[in-house]
Chains A and B, each alone.
Chain A
Amino acid sequence: MAPAEAQRTTTLIASIRRRLAFYFPTIAIAAGVIVLWEVIVVVFNIQQFLLPKPSAIFAEFTLQVDLWLAPDERSMLFESSGATFWEAFGGFIIGCGGGILVALITSRWTIVGEATMPFAIAANSVPIIAFAPIMNNWFGITNPASKMAIVAIIVFFPTMINTVRGLTLVDVEQLELMRSYAATPARIMFSLRIPNALPFIFSALRVASALSLIGAVVAEFFGGPRATLGVYITQEAGAFDFAKAWTAILMASLIGICFYLAVLIAERRLMPWRISIRDN
């Protein structure tokens, strides 16, 4: 019992050590950049409204964390982050869900698919963020739905296009095998086309996870409720409190990274065979 446990502990330590060795260059570069940033700001006496010191940003961030954790206080930063997160997340779910759904429907009826694909590809190259003021008019400037709508439209087209590709780019011989089994179209859809599309869908979702946060924050630049990251950044930058603006940028980055990681974890869960191929 005891030796087995000791064995397990040593392998755990070994795996942690291996991971640290693997990530060490990345961590070292990040730390180096922050230190260099601090040194440059101090040495060249750069004004805080041009570039605040990382230590100042960090101090502001810890202040906001303390406010957030204190029972009777409010942290504007964390309230804004929460609001922006829900806008991005809601838009992501609606847009990606809609994209996948429409792709499933159009690939079922080839003619519909062929008719809609050119529109989807054209729409995908339109700067959809330009619709933000229109959405503000439609849904109301302080209504989160106006931001969700922008995010949903932004992520809809790449998701739909990639899903259609995944559903249609199926190996001919795999289709012929299905034919030889006299499989129904529904069966071919579930046993062949959808699993075949999963890698395509997830590569779209990874792009969409980044796009959804960009869409939400930029849409907020066009106006929104006080407690949202986009408005927070514009207001604090306008008031020359750049350390505050930078904490909001930091939060937006953190949320974006969490989004991306969540998609990655879902991908590993749903497509274990892919990951094993890649790791090999």
Chain B
Amino acid sequence: MPAETRDIAISAKGIDKVFNPGTEEAVIALQDINLEVEAGEFISLIGPSGCGKSTLMRLIGDLIQPTGGELLVNGKKPARARLDRDYGMVFQAATLYEWRSVTKNVQLPLEIMGFSKSERQKRAGAMLEMVELGAFANHFPWQLSGGMQQRVSIARALAFDPTVLLMDEPFGALDEFTRERMNLELLKIWQQTRKTIIFVTHSIAEAVFLSNRIVVMSPRPGRITEIVSNTLPYPRDFNTRNDPAYHDLVAKVRELLRDAVGSLAADPSSGQYVSAQGAV
């Protein structure tokens, strides 16, 4: 059924990930992960520290490889998808290159991928307009606020038009107010570009506000507890946060997470687990 497979952006079947396998420090980071993401979906991964949400994102992005199971991105192996430049990545830190101006940062992936100079400038200009930083093209990263730097980072990730956007707590370092504005902006960008977005977050409010589906994960071993569908209509705006359905969903996700965190607190080995995760 080719028509159907084309619509699946990410398909994970029975994914396991063990760090340091066969040694005393072996840690089961992920166990039996099954997840299917349709093209154009906005998926949030949420869970306590050590639940493997970042690990799952990094597996999808081919930054690390699974120990077992089958993972396909756009119907291809993740390594193939990476070589085909299917991924845009955004981390918690903006990770801009301090020696490049804003526009040169956005153009960097385009340079690497061999776009012509005029095409690079055109795309960087359009991307910076989209994140409302057109006036800052020739500034250097240190001249921008944290929120603006993260917007540059998003513009850079989208500049080469990847199909999948992987975001690892992109707004985690921002203050609450900036974060809410960035959430609105990201939704706007998503609706313009229709990328598939995998969004790792610690914030329940953020996950519920942004995504089509919320993947709730729990630790030891990292696994998916539940996948919560979010039928709040798009476009969402500041009023969405006043919707009773929004609050019901937040309450539901919080409850699911409380179970996971509760079992974590009762386990004496949890500290060791977290440190093993942090070292990755």
Contacts from A to B (Cβ < 8 Å): 171, 173-174, 176-183, 187, 191-192, 195, 198, 271, 273-274, 276-277, 280
Contacts of B83 in A (CB 8 A): 182
Q: Say whether B89 contacts A277, CB under 8 Å.
A: no
A48 to B254, CA, bound (A): 86
- Smallest Cβ distance from A235 to chain B, in angstroms? 49
Q: Say whether B63 contacts A273, CB under 8 Å.
A: no
Q: Say whether B142 contacts A177, CB under 8 Å.
A: no
Cβ-based interface call for B99 (8 A)? yes
- Smallest Cβ distance from A69 to chain B, in angstroms? 45
- Smallest Cβ distance from B169 to chain A, in angstroms? 12
Q: Say whether B112 contacts A187, CB under 8 Å.
A: yes
The contact sample of 7 A-B pairs, CB cut-off 8 A, is: A171-B95, A174-B97, A176-B91, A182-B83, A191-B111, A271-B99, A276-B140
Contacts of A277 in B (CB 8 A): 98, 142
Cβ-based interface call for B93 (8 A)? yes
Q: Say whether B108 contacts A191, CB under 8 Å.
A: yes
Q: A174-B97, A187-B112, A195-B99 are in contact. Are A180 and B91 (CB under 8 A)?
A: no
Q: Say whether B95 contacts A180, CB under 8 Å.
A: no
Interface hits, B73-102 → A, CB 8 Å: 82-83, 85, 87-89, 91, 93, 95, 97-99
Q: Say whether B140 contacts A176, CB under 8 Å.
A: no
**Contact code string B32-70 (vs A, CB < 8 Å = 1, else 0):** 000000000000000000000000000001110000000
Cβ-based interface call for B113 (8 A)? yes
Q: Say whether A273 contacts B98, CB under 8 Å.
A: yes
Q: Say whether A179 contacts B109, CB under 8 Å.
A: no
Contacts of B108 in A (CB 8 A): 181, 191
Q: Say whether B91 contacts A173, CB under 8 Å.
A: yes
Contacts of B87 in A (CB 8 A): 180
Q: Say whether B63 contacts A179, CB under 8 Å.
A: yes
A195 to B111, CA, bound (A): 16
Contacts of A273 in B (CB 8 A): 98-99, 140, 142
Q: Say whether B142 contacts A173, CB under 8 Å.
A: no
Contacts of A177 in B (CB 8 A): 89, 91, 95
Contacts of A183 in B (CB 8 A): 112
A195 to B99, CA, bound (A): 7
A38 to B82, CA, bound (A): 73
Q: Say whether B89 contacts A180, CB under 8 Å.
A: yes
Q: Say whether A173 contacts B93, CB under 8 Å.
A: yes
A274 to B142, CA, bound (A): 10
Beyond the given pairs A176-B91, A273-B98, 16 more chain A to chain B contacts, judged by CB atoms under 8 angstroms and listed by A's residue number, are A173-B95, A174-B97, A176-B89, A177-B95, A179-B63, A180-B82, A181-B108, A181-B112, A181-B160, A187-B112, A191-B112, A192-B97, A273-B99, A273-B142, A276-B140, A280-B142
A177 to B99, CA, bound (A): 16
Q: Say whether A181 contacts B95, CB under 8 Å.
A: no
Q: A173-B93, A173-B95, A174-B97 are in contact. Are A276 and B85 (CB under 8 A)?
A: no
Q: A174-B95, A195-B99 are in contact. Are A181 and B85 (CB under 8 A)?
A: yes
A177 to B44, CA, bound (A): 21
Chain B: which residue is nearest A171 at the CB level?
Answer: B95
Q: Say whether A179 contacts B82, CB under 8 Å.
A: yes
Chain B: which residue is nearest A182 at the CB level?
Answer: B83
- Smallest Cβ distance from A232 to chain B, in angstroms? 44
**Contact code string B106-132 (vs A, CB < 8 Å = 1, else 0):** 001101110000000000000000000
Contacts of B82 in A (CB 8 A): 179-180, 182
- Smallest Cβ distance from B132 to chain A, in angstroms? 23
A276 to B139, CA, bound (A): 11
- Smallest Cβ distance from B82 to chain A, in angstroms? 6
